[in-house]
Amino acid sequence: MMSFEELQVFLDARGIDTAQMEDSELNNASYYGRIFAKSGGISQGIVDVAKEMGMEGVKPIAMNGIAECKANLLRLKMGKAAENFFEGMACDGGCLNGPVCITHSPRNVVDVEKYGNEAHEKTIFNTVNLLGEV
């Protein structure tokens, strides 16, 4: 894993000034690829895949923080979990609120969701088709 600070040092060491570079649209990242950094993003993808494939009985849980992960995985171990898919994020709110993020704000979730909604591919099957185009 590389922090944004480490990335900046890497770019500086190579004389790359991103402010001077031409902007270009990233149009090949799917909705699902854009939302996985937020808590519940992976679970949302699993639910959507199951729905599109006609699968029933998918019961995900999105866990925030180590304590919540530990408690819910203990329930699973004891056979008391109602869920059958566990998404665990060590950081509250997901990776977008992690220790190497530049900002820590509720706005981060809004920004990730907005970025996800800008994706051209909105369904899982369109997303999978991207693999053939890469």
The pLDDT of residue 22 is above 60: yes
| 16 occurs within a structural domain | no
- pLDDT confidence band for 134 (50 / 70 / 90): very low
Q: Which domain holds residue 108?
A: 30-133
Give the model confidence (pLDDT) of 55-79 as tens digits. 999 999 999 999 999 999 999 999 9
List CB contacts of 108: < 8 A, sequence separation 6 or more: 38, 93, 96, 97, 101
Best CA proximity match to 36, nearest among 109, 106, 85: 109
The pLDDT of residue 42 is above 70: yes
| 103 occurs within a structural domain | yes
Pairing of β 60-64 and β 85-89: parallel
| 95 occurs within a structural domain | yes
Left if phi > 0, otherwise alpha if psi is -120 to 50, otherwise beta: which for 65? left
Q: How many domains does the chain have?
A: 1
Give the model confidence (pLDDT) of 111-132 as tens digits. 888 988 888 877 777 766 666 6
